[in-house]
Chain A
Amino acid sequence: MKKNYRILSLLLVLFLMAGIMTGCVKKTDDAQTSGQPTGSGSTTASTTATGNLKPGEGSKKIGIIMGGSKDDYGFNYAFAQLADQVQKELGIEAVIKENVPTTSDFEGVCEELISQGCKIIFPSQFGYLEYAHNVAQRHPDVAFYSFPITDYNGGNFSTIHGNAHEPWYINGALAAMYSKTGKVGFIGSLPIPDVIVSVDAFTLGAQSINPKIQVSAVFTGSWADTGLQTTATNQLLDSGCDVIAPFQDSVKTVIEICASRGAHAFGCNADAYSLDPKTWLSACITDWSGYIPYIKAAIDGKYENVNLSGGFKEHFITNAKYGDTVTPDMVTKLTEIRKKIESGDIYVFQGPVYDQSGAVMFKDGYRPTIQEINLVNKLVKGVTGKLN
């Protein structure tokens, strides 16, 4: 036995040493790659050469970097749609990099895209932004468009964010029209700001149709644990919900379970109408048509730093195609609500908004700014469920 311990401890020491050594190697590696472009003479020459070029000017390709697979019928699928749209409308190539982790690996992938000629980059994940910012500083001639709101905004690093609460409000209204039991389920991933704002907007939208509606929110603590999604969907349906709205990366499981049990489901971030038109209701999706003018301007050399968030009116976000069972009557009503949101007659978080305990979140008639909305960290009255 003693011998074994000795061997084990030896192995452990070796393992630790290996860890330290690879750690060091990586660091120097990083230092080299980050040092080269800023410090060495060759790149100063290239910056002077490109000095009068605006970020993204004359780009022949755009680069999209995503955290998952582009066929996931969710968040990443939406970015694949951007690629299609850019190819169709601007006639330039879009290079997609999939399954890139939210680590410093991002910088390598990004540098590779830039060396291929991509001068406009879309880092899709929140976790990329720190690394994207590093790359943006090294390459002032490359334009970055962040989808998540970030403090890194500035110079060639722009933000265009779609206000998800507007489509989620419409989703809520549709759910309330659908629900016969007066109870709808919401399967959240993690209680992060985007998810909290979405469930709140969803509830407010549902309450605009049926003030007594109950939204039952559960969190699975992960973005794509299909097993937990199944458990959550089954339990919500058993507890009396007949419409399920998932805020998950991949929603196929939820739609399948709802289909097999005769319930209806929303999607998340992507149009999955074709998966099951009868079960499908709608989803909040990014409307890339609002982004195209900015990309075009950047290519034409008219790049300007922007820090935008907009909704239906700005064409940054929209609702996916309605399912087959949504009646024309409902569609007319929903279109009306949408027009009112566009014209400003309806403001999703217009006061009075109360939280779960009944305390006032936004006082009567007050219209919170988008910054205030993004800081919402409570569930509104009418939601059952907890954030912590």
Chain B
Amino acid sequence: MRDLTTVLACMISAGTPILYALIGDLIGERAGIISLSVEGSMLCGACIGFGTAVATHNMLFAVLSGALAGGLIGFCQAFLTIDRKSNMMASGFVLMFFAMGLTAFYGRSLLNISIGGANSAGLGKIAIPVLSKIPVLGTALFTQDILTYISYLLPLIVYFFIYKTKYGLILCSVGERPEVTLAYGYNPRLIQYGAVIMAGVLAGIGGVQMSVIYTMGWANNMVNGRGFIATALVILCSWKPQRAYLAAYLFGLAQALQIFLQVHSVPVSMYITLMLPYLLTLVALGFISSSKKPTMPEKLKIVI
């Protein structure tokens, strides 16, 4: 039972940064732009957010600054792909390398700074009164930090936004037929800008969660491909926000199992367990792509 709690808790904490980036990129892709730059947004968010958390000991400021930093990278991606019509894959990659260099340079003074554990305000874990008493799930799911709780709600919010509101429909129309959006009286260019910047903002918050709460430290290139994984997982959840839970936590579970199998000396090769997160994603992708109903936004079909 205790092992199950451990695995679940590790699954949640490993999956949360990815969940943020995934939902962000999903919004962007619904508007027809793939943001590989979410990797860069996460890095910038992690670096700036950690710096702010150390300086101010205030979670709100940390999240805001991380979101701003991620959003700026998102803005660069939006400008390059929407106004300059550059290849969205290429610009995403370039922005990732740009963010890597930038954070390595500005993050060097943060490398040897300690955040002071859970002592600082707003960084600790909060147990939700009744729910945290549920046997196995309580400690794993409902004794978490504030950003994780927000991430529980995020896919739901985006689900209602996309499927139940007028603005969600408009957002999707940009990804399908921008000329229809235009005829309807909205500016597709502006909406795309908003969606791509939003992708950066959410990825930036994911980065803050990763550096400030999950790993409690800044290290060079700490995101280590999680942004790219998130971009791939958007396809796995067929651009449907409600499936984001499945995709992100599948990856989190794989990471948790990767260590779990080693700790409990399960006779599986270490290299298989190291592959596990990618293996599971690949298998799941294989299943999804064979499903009959294609849901890919029309504009993306040109790119992919």
Q: Residues of A with Cβ closer than 8 Å to B?
A: 4, 68-69, 71-73, 99, 191, 216-222, 224-232, 234-236, 238-239, 250, 252-253, 256-257, 259-260, 272, 275-276, 384-388
Taking the complex as formed, is B201 at the interface, i.e. its CB lies under 8 A from any CB of chain A?
no
Q: Are B216 and A191 closer than 8 Å at their CB atoms?
A: no
Q: Which one of B3, B118, B224, B262 contacts A222 once the chains associate, using CB atoms below 8 Å?
A: B224
- When chains A and B are docked, how far (Å) is the Cα of A137 from the Cα of B153? 62
Cβ-closest chain B residue relative to A224: B219
Of B226, B265, B269, which is in contact with the most chain A CB atoms at under 10 Å from its CB?
B265
Per-position binary interface string of chain B over residues 189-229, scored 1 when its CB falls under 8 Å from any chain A CB and 0 otherwise: 00000000000000000000010001111011110101000
Smallest CB-CB A-B distances: 8 pairs: A256-B216, A226-B215, A221-B274, A218-B262, A238-B6, A71-B111, A260-B117, A252-B217
Residues from chain B with Cβ under 8 Å of A228 in the complex: 255, 258-259
- CB proximity to A under 8 Å, residues B98-123: 104, 108-109, 111-112, 114-115, 117-118
Selected interface stretch from B7-15, B66-74, B164-172, B280-288: B7-15
Cβ-closest chain A residue relative to B268: A386
Q: Are B115 and A256 closer than 8 Å at their CB atoms?
A: yes
Cβ-closest chain A residue relative to B211: A226
A386-B111 contact given A222-B224, A226-B215, A226-B222, CB 8 Å threshold? no
Cβ-closest chain A residue relative to B10: A231
Q: Are B115 and A69 closer than 8 Å at their CB atoms?
A: no
**5 pairs from A and B in contact (CB 8 Å cutoff):** A221-B270, A226-B219, A234-B10, A256-B117, A384-B265
A388-B219 contact given A218-B259, A231-B256, CB 8 Å threshold? no
Nearest CB on A from B236, distance (A):
19
Cβ-closest chain A residue relative to B221: A224
Q: Are B108 and A71 closer than 8 Å at their CB atoms?
A: yes
Q: Are B224 and A231 closer than 8 Å at their CB atoms?
A: no
Q: Are A219 and B270 closer than 8 Å at their CB atoms?
A: yes
Taking the complex as formed, is B302 at the interface, i.e. its CB lies under 8 A from any CB of chain A?
yes
Q: A234-B9, A256-B216 are in contact. List 5 more A-B contacts (CB 8 A).
A: A69-B108, A71-B111, A230-B216, A232-B259, A239-B264
Cβ-closest chain B residue relative to A384: B265
Q: Which one of B13, B219, B221 contacts A252 once the chains associate, using CB atoms below 8 Å?
A: B219
Residues from chain A with Cβ under 8 Å of B7 in the complex: 235
Residues from chain A with Cβ under 8 Å of B259 in the complex: 218, 220, 228, 231-232, 235
- When chains A and B are docked, how far (Å) is the Cα of A97 from the Cα of B216? 28
- When chains A and B are docked, how far (Å) is the Cα of A198 from the Cα of B287? 43
Q: Residues of B with Cβ closer than 8 Å to A?
A: 2-3, 5-7, 9-10, 13-14, 17, 104, 108-109, 111-112, 114-115, 117-118, 210, 214-217, 219-222, 224, 226, 255-256, 258-260, 262-265, 267, 269-271, 274, 302
Residues from chain A with Cβ under 8 Å of B256 in the complex: 231, 235
A253-B264 contact given A259-B117, A275-B112, CB 8 Å threshold? no
- When chains A and B are docked, how far (Å) is the Cα of A68 from the Cα of B111? 12
Nearest CB on A from B302, distance (A):
6
Residues from chain A with Cβ under 8 Å of B258 in the complex: 228, 231
Q: Are B117 and A219 closer than 8 Å at their CB atoms?
A: no
Residues from chain A with Cβ under 8 Å of B217 in the complex: 226, 250, 252-253, 256
Residues from chain A with Cβ under 8 Å of B264 in the complex: 239
Cβ-closest chain A residue relative to B9: A234
- When chains A and B are docked, how far (Å) is the Cα of A152 from the Cα of B274? 32
Nearest CB on A from B122, distance (A):
15
- When chains A and B are docked, how far (Å) is the Cα of A331 from the Cα of B115? 29
- When chains A and B are docked, how far (Å) is the Cα of A289 from the Cα of B21? 48
A257-B216 contact given A71-B111, A221-B274, CB 8 Å threshold? yes
- When chains A and B are docked, how far (Å) is the Cα of A257 from the Cα of B213? 10
Q: Which one of A224, A229, A260, A385 contacts B262 once the chains associate, using CB atoms below 8 Å?
A: A385
Q: Which one of B226, B255, B271 contacts A388 once the chains associate, using CB atoms below 8 Å?
A: B271
Cβ-closest chain B residue relative to A229: B215
Q: Are B262 and A239 closer than 8 Å at their CB atoms?
A: no
Residues from chain A with Cβ under 8 Å of B270 in the complex: 191, 219, 221, 386-388
Q: Are A218 and B263 closer than 8 Å at their CB atoms?
A: yes
Of B2, B115, B270, which is in contact with the most chain A CB atoms at under 10 Å from its CB?
B270
Q: Which one of A99, A250, A257 contacts B104 once the chains associate, using CB atoms below 8 Å?
A: A99
Residues from chain B with Cβ under 8 Å of A387 in the complex: 270
Residues from chain B with Cβ under 8 Å of A275 in the complex: 112, 114
Nearest CB on B from A125, distance (A):
15
Q: Are B302 and A72 closer than 8 Å at their CB atoms?
A: no
Q: Which one of A219, A250, A386 contacts B219 once the chains associate, using CB atoms below 8 Å?
A: A250
- When chains A and B are docked, how far (Å) is the Cα of A387 from the Cα of B210? 29
Residues from chain B with Cβ under 8 Å of A4 in the complex: 302
Residues from chain A with Cβ under 8 Å of B216 in the complex: 230, 253, 256-257, 260
Cβ-closest chain B residue relative to A221: B274
Cβ-closest chain B residue relative to A99: B104
A230-B215 contact given A235-B256, A252-B112, CB 8 Å threshold? yes
Nearest CB on A from B294, distance (A):
14
Residues from chain A with Cβ under 8 Å of B210 in the complex: 227
Nearest CB on B from A275, distance (A):
6
Residues from chain B with Cβ under 8 Å of A218 in the complex: 259, 262-263
Nearest CB on A from B139, distance (A):
11
- When chains A and B are docked, how far (Å) is the Cα of A217 from the Cα of B258? 13
A69-B104 contact given A225-B224, A235-B10, CB 8 Å threshold? yes
- When chains A and B are docked, how far (Å) is the Cα of A365 from the Cα of B174? 77
Cβ-closest chain B residue relative to A222: B224
Q: Which one of B111, B224, B255, B263 contacts A73 once the chains associate, using CB atoms below 8 Å?
A: B111
Residues from chain B with Cβ under 8 Å of A220 in the complex: 259
